[in-house]
Structure 1
Amino acid sequence: MRLVTAAGADGLSVAELARSADLTRPTAHRLLTALRHEGLVDQDERSGRWMPGPELYLMGTVAASRYDITGIARDVVRSLAVRTEESAFLSVRRGDETVCLLREEGSFPIRSFVLSEGVRFPLGVASAGLAILAFLPPHDVDAYFERHPELGQRWGAAHAEPRLRTRLKETHERGFALNPGLIVEGSFGLGAAVFTREGHPQWALSLTGVQFRFGPDRLAELGRILLAHAHQLTTRVASAQR
């Protein structure tokens, strides 16, 4: 289901899904057929590609009242984009990943397209996930590294455990995360955690843009603006969860 929903409106073929899930094609088709029977996935009659089903929409509307903060976050994300002139985002933690929920374009004409709605990254990779991981309890961070020894191999040496732990410490001390072109060369990102009423880092605000826009003099100001917006949204979340 996660693979199907990640593909969005374009969908995926059964062969693509089987390959991504490391399943045989007959097994993948059998699982998809069962999910379709429950309305959780659907198949386009012309292309044969598999897409999210109508039951997911109904489930989502029920869960939204508890988990969806986009309604109270949209103007905060928009304000962040206006104030900084960079692209601004809201991401949410889902297990060991972050998922982008909102994107607002800044006014600067040259943009970075690393992130958009629905895009997932492992915690610690993009700036949003780095900010969230940095403020998790130490035992949760240790467990995360135990589950994902492949980070360095998959995402580059900067994401291997020793170097990533150093960046987590720096993020915690600074208050916001930096991603200096570690995913896409020439792109720069900042991220700040947004907390639940109980103090858990569940979301993150982030900024991305072309690297020359994030020089040392401007970086401090962008970080200050980002943290102020993250604090504003955290305060709203706490009020909404009462």
Structure 2
Amino acid sequence: MTAPVDVVARVGLLLRTVAQFEPAGATTTQISEASALARPTTHRLLTSLAQQGLLQRVGETALWQLGPELHFLGRSAAPRYDVTHLAHPFVRTLAVETGESAFYSARRGDESICLIREDGAFPLRSHVLNHGTRFPLGVASAGLAILAFLPGPEREEYLDRTDLTGAFGPEHTAEKVRQRLDATRAAGYATHPGLLVEGSWGMAAAVFDPDGTPVGALSLTGVAHRFSDARRPELGHLLLAGAHSLSHRLAQRS
């Protein structure tokens, strides 16, 4: 007997895929390849989503973008989920104090999603993270910080079922990720030494909800020489101080 097709899962996959191409948009073929769905299936679902206002197709370019209905739905849900107005001052302070690019990323299931970016004064910048960038947990400094402080059974269950090596290479075996998670818990903050883009380092500290569950992370990225052995403790202290204060603000809000 053929297993039923999970249409809702495919719709969610397509919406997330289109979001990766914002704001420029993407062709049907690009979305099909990125989502690993057949092109006819992709086109049929994209067309249906556009009819509901969840996507739109841009003029003569025929590029797909997220639609206006998502904006209105998001505004309705924002009071329960949006913490960017709380996080923004902390991100800005990190950028000013360090000169590096600073970020806030939120956890969404098995991923971290960059919601805020502020660039510091140092002219050489990393472009690993931008608004809307998603990485699996355990990849990039924010995802390391979040995963490191999840409950042990939940963390191990994730590592047992997730293969990060296919997309991110041999430095992301479960064993090597575990070693970085151990180092993160020992230091209190994560360090990501140029494993995504050579010469681009990142550091992050987890942000917690009132129950002590990591819900996001403050992070910094920059060129390798700006993250020297001598400077990392200072950057880690600033990240931890900001993350602690933001966690406290989240607790006050609830």
- Normalising to structure 1: TM-score of the pair? 0.96
Residues 207, 243 of structure 2: 8 Å contact kept: yes
Between the aligned partners of 2:32 and 2:234, the Cα distance in structure 1 is 47
SS at match of 2:22: helix
Q: Output the aligned Cα RMSD.
A: 1.1
- The one-letter amino acid paired with 1:86 is E
**Deviating more after overlay: 37-46 vs 187-196:** 37-46
The alpha carbon displacement at 1:12 in A equals 1.0
Residues 153, 160 of structure 1: 8 Å contact kept: no
The answer to whether structure 1 residue 145 and structure 2 residue 159 are counterparts is yes
Listed as ranges, the matches of 1:99-118 within 5 Å are: 99-118=113-132
Residues 77, 89 of structure 1: 8 Å contact kept: yes
The answer to whether structure 1 residue 188 and structure 2 residue 201 are counterparts is yes
The alpha carbon displacement at 1:63 in A equals 1.3
Residues 204, 239 of structure 2: 8 Å contact kept: yes
Between the aligned partners of 1:53 and 1:127, the Cα distance in structure 2 is 31
Between the aligned partners of 1:19 and 1:61, the Cα distance in structure 2 is 30
Listed as ranges, the matches of 1:145-164 within 5 Å are: 145-149=159-163, 151-164=164-177
- The one-letter amino acid paired with 1:171 is T
Unaligned runs of 5+ in 1: none
The alpha carbon displacement at 1:153 in A equals 3.1
What is residue 221 of structure 1 aligned with on the other side? 234
- The one-letter amino acid paired with 1:8 is E
The answer to whether structure 1 residue 93 and structure 2 residue 107 are counterparts is yes
Between the aligned partners of 2:45 and 2:161, the Cα distance in structure 1 is 26
- The one-letter amino acid paired with 1:205 is L
What is residue 23 of structure 2 aligned with on the other side? 9
Between the aligned partners of 2:24 and 2:69, the Cα distance in structure 1 is 18
Unaligned runs of 5+ in 2: 1-14
Residues 189, 207 of structure 1: 8 Å contact kept: yes
Alignment match of 2:85 (pick from 71, 90, 101): 71
**Deviating more after overlay: 140-149 vs 163-172:** 140-149
Between the aligned partners of 1:84 and 1:19, the Cα distance in structure 2 is 39
The answer to whether structure 1 residue 166 and structure 2 residue 187 are counterparts is no
Between the aligned partners of 1:232 and 1:202, the Cα distance in structure 2 is 14
The alpha carbon displacement at 1:187 in A equals 1.0
Q: Deviations over 1:79-123 (max 9, x none)?
A: 111111111100011111111111111111222121111111111
Q: Deviations over 1:41-79 (max 9, x none)?
A: 111121111110111001110111111111111111101
Between the aligned residues of both structures, percent identity stands at: 50
The alpha carbon displacement at 1:133 in A equals 0.3
Residues 81, 105 of structure 1: 8 Å contact kept: yes
Between the aligned partners of 1:171 and 1:177, the Cα distance in structure 2 is 5
Question: How many residues are paired up?
Answer: 240
Between the aligned partners of 2:95 and 2:111, the Cα distance in structure 1 is 24
SS at match of 1:42: strand
SS at match of 1:182: coil
- The one-letter amino acid paired with 2:235 is L
Between the aligned partners of 1:94 and 1:202, the Cα distance in structure 2 is 8
- Normalising to structure 2: TM-score of the pair? 0.92
